[in-house]
């Protein structure tokens, strides 16, 4: 019998999450029955969506939602042999028993020198988000100019290099000077610290004097209000996330952007990466190939220990991470 540890939402977050909002509990798991597998977490993901989804989809006492890379440690299901690895959307759990539904096996030819944790980042959901946002929402073309905010994070750090591979000029911003240096290493044409520039508008104008064809928005809120007038005619905006608003206790107010959307004939589209799930296998192969060729970064922010899940989550929301934030068990 295995005793799993699970992190639950003790009380709904009010504003910025606190360590006391989480509770660690034990859960006894029986022996697997026919068709079942027992998983042990190896790497767990902490993602921004967990903050808004906690109020939309969870009640107090629920196990926190999320994905992990797990190892199959017992199996009564031939599709998931002992020792193989899967991506499991089973939440903040050290161990999990299931019948295989929802598990995605990692390819058997996953290279030894590529960390398995990248299946939660660049070669996983955030990488797919970057790729689909650029190709299917922005429909980005060679020679265009792209702006991405949250550029040093899990999604942003894939957006920039893919846009460079496609022959674009790429402008990005992040919240520390060390992250800005990282963006320059990734090949961004212009990068700046949005927290220290004296004028966001002037910095954006200077970085792209003719304006932006595409805007990959991870941040939303006031930042986007500044960008709208700087878009080119027929510009495209991929609304990926709005992390600047996730901890707000009351909705932010304008300035409102409709007049710019009309006069510049912009297309602004929200998206969830799951819309293109049918393309994941092919897209993950492309992401893996780019990683192996050194065209995408392997940088991650790894927190050690399952007991530190809440701290890792709060740290990610605070901007501690460069690249994908993951927890190593
Ligand atoms: N649509 C989809 O399918 C989809 C999928 C995945 C993610 N997303 C969204 O994409 C965005 C990025 O996600 P991610 O997983 O790549 O996270 P991430 O960028 O790896 O981590 C979050 C980062 O957001 C930045 N941040 C935090 N508060 C901020 C604020 N008030 N203003 C500006 N930046 C702030 C911090 O970096 P700094 O130091 O730079 O501030 C922090 O490191 C999020 O909005 C997320 O919800 C959407």
| Residue 155 DSSP label | T
Q: How far apart are CA 39 and CA 206, in angstroms?
A: 51
| Residue 136 DSSP label | I
Residue 202: the pLDDT is 98
Q: Is the distance from CB of 152 to CB of 183 less than 8 angstroms?
A: yes
Given CA atoms 28, 32, 36, 38 in this order, what sign does their dihedral have? Answer: positive
Token pair of 165, please?
A: 């591979």
Q: Is the distance from CB of 25 to CB of 4 less than 8 angstroms?
A: no
- CATH number for the domain running over 125-274: 3.40.50.720
Residue 1: the pLDDT is 84
**Which residues are CB-neighbours of 184 under 8 A, at least 6 positions away?**
191
Domain segments of the chain as ranges? 2-121+299-328, 125-274
DSSP secondary structure of 220-269:
-HHHHHHHGGGEEEEEEEEE---GGGTT-SS-------HHHHHHTT-EEE
Q: What is the mean pLDDT of each run of 10 residues along the chain (329 residues)?
A: 96 98 97 97 99 96 98 98 98 98 96 98 98 98 98 98 98 99 98 98 98 98 97 98 97 92 98 98 98 98 98 98 98
Q: How far apart are CA 78 and CA 80, in angstroms?
A: 5
Q: Please choose from 16, 52, 117, 150 the residue to mutate so as to test ligand 1's pocket, defined by most ligand atoms within 8 A of CB.
A: 150
238 C-beta closer than 6 A to ligand 1: no
Taking the centre of ligand 1 as the mean of its atom positions, its distance from the CA of residue 153, in whole angstroms, is 6
End-to-end CA distance of the chain: 20
2-121+299-328 placed in CATH 3.90.180.10: yes
Residue 155: the pLDDT is 99
Q: In the chain, pLDDT over 70 holds for what percent of residues? A: 100
Q: How far apart are CA 236 and CA 246, in angstroms?
A: 23
Taking the centre of ligand 1 as the mean of its atom positions, its distance from the CA of residue 143, in whole angstroms, is 26
Closest atom of ligand 1 to 239 CA is 1
Q: How far apart are CA 317 and CA 50, in angstroms?
A: 10
Measuring from atom 30 of ligand 1, which residue has the nearest CA? 244
Residue with tokens 């960390």: 115
Q: Specify the DSSP element, H or E, that contains 281.
A: helix 280-292
Closest atom of ligand 1 to 242 CA is 45
For 226-239, how does the pLDDT look when each residue is reduced to its tens digit (9 = 90+)? Answer: 999 999 999 999 99
90 C-beta closer than 6 A to ligand 1: no
Residue 82: the pLDDT is 98
16 C-beta closer than 6 A to ligand 1: no
77 C-beta closer than 6 A to ligand 1: no
């Amino acid at each position: 019998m295995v005793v799993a540890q699970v992190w639950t939402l003790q009380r709904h977050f009010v504003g910025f999450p606190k360590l006391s909002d989480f509770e660690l509990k034990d859960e006894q798991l029986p022996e697997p029955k026919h068709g079942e597998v027992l998983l042990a977490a190896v790497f767990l993901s902490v993602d921004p969506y967990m903050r808004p989804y906690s109020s939309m989809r969870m009640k107090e006492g629920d196990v926190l939602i999320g994905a992990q890379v797990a190892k199959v440690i017992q199996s009564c299901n031939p599709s998931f042999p002992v020792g193989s690895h899967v991506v499991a959307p089973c939440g903040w759990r050290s161990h999990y028993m299931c019948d295989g539904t929802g598990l995605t096996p990692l390819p058997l030819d996953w290279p030894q020198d590529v960390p398995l944790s990248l299946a939660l980042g660049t070669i996983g959901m955030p990488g797919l988000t970057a790729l689909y946002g650029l190709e299917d929402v922005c429909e980005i073309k060679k020679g265009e100019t792209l702006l991405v905010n949250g550029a040093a994070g899990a999604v942003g750090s894939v957006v920039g290099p893919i846009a460079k591979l496609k022959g674009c000029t790429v402008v990005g911003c992040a919240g520390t000077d060390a992250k800005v240096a990282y963006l320059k290493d990734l090949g961004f044409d212009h990068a700046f610290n949005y927290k220290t520039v004296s004028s966001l508008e002037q910095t954006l104008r200077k970085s792209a004097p003719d304006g932006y064809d595409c805007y990959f928005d991870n941040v939303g809120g006031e930042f986007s209000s500044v960008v709208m007038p700087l878009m080119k005619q027929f510009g495209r905006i991929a609304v990926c996330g709005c992390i600047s608003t996730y901890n707000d206790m009351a909705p932010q107010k304008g300035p409102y952007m409709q007049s710019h959307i009309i006069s510049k004939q912009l297309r602004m589209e929200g998206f969830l990466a799951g819309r293109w799930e049918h393309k994941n296998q092919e897209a993950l192969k492309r992401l893996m190939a780019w990683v192996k060729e050194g065209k995408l970064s392997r940088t991650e922010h790894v927190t050690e220990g399952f007991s530190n899940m809440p701290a890792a989550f709060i740290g990610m929301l605070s901007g501690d991470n460069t690249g994908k934030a993951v927890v190593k068990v």
